Amino acid sequence: MRSVLVTHPSSMDHVSLNEHPERPERVTAAIEGVLESDLEIVSVEARAATREELLAVHDASFLDQLQEFCATGGGAIDADTYAVERSWDAARFAAGAGLTAIEAIQRGDADVGFSVVRPPGHHAEIDRTMGFCLINNIAVSAAALVSGGERVAIVDWDVHHGNGTQEMFFRSPDVLYVSLHHSPFYPGTGRVQDVGRGLGVGATVNIPLPGGVGGVAYRRAFSRIVLPILDQFDPDWLLVSAGYDGHIADPLGGMALVADDYGAMAAALGEAMQRKNTVFYLEGGYDLGAIRESVTATLNGYASGLPLLNPPDGGDQTTDSAVEVFSLFWDLD
């Protein structure tokens, strides 16, 4: 199996003036993880997202203000998020990396893609940067696919809820957004009761998990909720917000996943998508070793063709509560 690895040098130019966990070395670790996988790797440089592509998910005034802020030297945007002069270019190429991966897959150059760029994106809202994120990279890709008549599923396993991605597609019946996240935790969104609105009711699937849980909880949620809903939604494309801050070694996440858990989740997603039309997007993850080994496990798992979840029998209160909510919209056991 071939994977396209999409990167861009500008990712290394988005650098805080102070020590910051979202640092350029994260990209280096993720690239190493891709290259250490068993897949044949096709490396491609990202193209920049066009203004039109960005406007599909962000307000024009927001984009103008962000570009001007960077052009005048940048600085701290909030307690977590910063930009410097070259961050605008980094953000445009980060937003275009997923599009580049999709285009490579559409040409037949690869079966799966990994977008390894920064800054990350899933917290960026329509008119607001936050949580280390400037532009919502995965949302830009999803909107482009939907404009071409495709149905898109987004699975977000970053330890933090992707509030920006949810906001952008909360009313859309063409984008399924599924998030497994630590709760209560930053950014404080992602309640199980938030299921979408209007034509999008049922297409937002939040699975909040208590701090400290590991592979058993995630595997149960995948088996009982994520995979049955994916099967019924029947997407043309799967985009994965692949954050690795749920790893037990991560200094920020407070969860207990290991690399094999990411491999198991990716294997299940590969089986669901018949190992095609899938792109992984680097989101969070702040321990370099955990990023590297988890990225390798993700690609190897996706390509394996093996249903590696094997959750233990029985339920748990978190999963049972979520099943009760989502059974109103989907056929779940």
Q: Tell whether 226 is covered by a domain.
A: yes
pLDDT band at 308 (very low <50, low <70, confident <90, very high): low
Please tell me which residue, 316 or 238, carries the higher pLDDT value: 238
Mean pLDDT (whole number) for 142-160: 98
Catalytic residue among 8, 58, 123, 182: 123
Predicted confidence (pLDDT) per residue in 2-11, tens digit: 999 999 999 9
Predicted confidence (pLDDT) per residue in 195-220, tens digit: 999 999 999 999 999 999 999 999 99
- CA distances 277 to 77, 138, 225, Å, are 35, 14, 21
Q: Tell whether 331 is covered by a domain.
A: no
User: Is the per-residue pLDDT at 307 higher than 70?
Assistant: no
When the pLDDT of each residue in the chain is averaged and rounded to a whole number, the result is: 96
Q: Tell me the whole-structure pTM to 2 decimals.
A: 0.97
Q: Tell whether 272 is covered by a domain.
A: yes
| DSSP of 122-186 | TT-BTTB-BTTBSS-HHHHHHHHHHHTT--EEEEE-SSS--HHHHHHHTT-SSEEEEEEEESS-T
Alpha-carbon gap, residue 294 to 127, rounded angstroms: 32
Active site residue 181: no
Q: Tell whether 116 is covered by a domain.
A: yes
Name the packing angle between helices 87-107 and 60-71 (round to 10°): 120
Give the domain range for residue 264.
Answer: 2-326
Q: Which amino acid is at 213?
A: V
Predicted confidence (pLDDT) per residue in 273-288, tens digit: 999 999 999 999 999 9
Question: How confident is the model at residue 43, as a pLDDT?
Answer: 98
Question: How confident is the model at residue 311, as a pLDDT?
Answer: 73
Alpha-carbon gap, residue 290 to 299, rounded angstroms: 14
Mean pLDDT (whole number) for 312-329: 86
Predicted confidence (pLDDT) per residue in 92-116, tens digit: 999 999 999 999 999 999 999 999 9
Question: How confident is the model at residue 84, as a pLDDT?
Answer: 97
Alpha-carbon gap, residue 157 to 155, rounded angstroms: 6
Q: Tell whether 333 is covered by a domain.
A: no
Alpha-carbon gap, residue 80 to 130, rounded angstroms: 7
Structural contact between residues 90 and 118, judged by C-beta atoms closer than 8 angstroms: yes
Report how far apart the first and last C-alpha atoms of the chain are (Å, whole number): 34
pLDDT band at 318 (very low <50, low <70, confident <90, very high): confident
Of residues 236, 267, 232, the one with CA closest to residue 153: 236
Q: Domain containing 287 — which CATH number? A: 3.40.800.20
Mean pLDDT (whole number) for 245-264: 98
Predicted confidence (pLDDT) per residue in 232-246, tens digit: 999 999 999 999 999
212: alpha, beta or left? (left if phi > 0; alpha if psi -120 to 50): left
Locus of tokens 């998020």? 81
Question: How confident is the model at residue 315, as a pLDDT?
Answer: 64
Please tell me which residue, 308 or 111, carries the higher pLDDT value: 111
Of residues 275, 277, 182, the one with CA closest to residue 221: 182
Q: Tell whether 332 is covered by a domain.
A: no
Alpha-carbon gap, residue 198 to 196, rounded angstroms: 7
- How many domains does the structure of the chain reveal? 1
Of residues 94, 66, 71, 96, the one with CA closest to residue 81: 66
Reading the block at residue 267, the tokens are 């294997």
Mean pLDDT (whole number) for 52-72: 98
Q: Tell whether 17 is covered by a domain.
A: yes
Q: Tell whether 70 is covered by a domain.
A: yes
Per-residue 3-state assignment (H helix, E strand, C coil) for 245-297: CCECCCCCCCCEECHHHHHHHHHHHHHHCCCCCEEEEECCCCCHHHHHHHHHH
Structural contact between residues 58 and 126, judged by C-beta atoms closer than 8 angstroms: yes
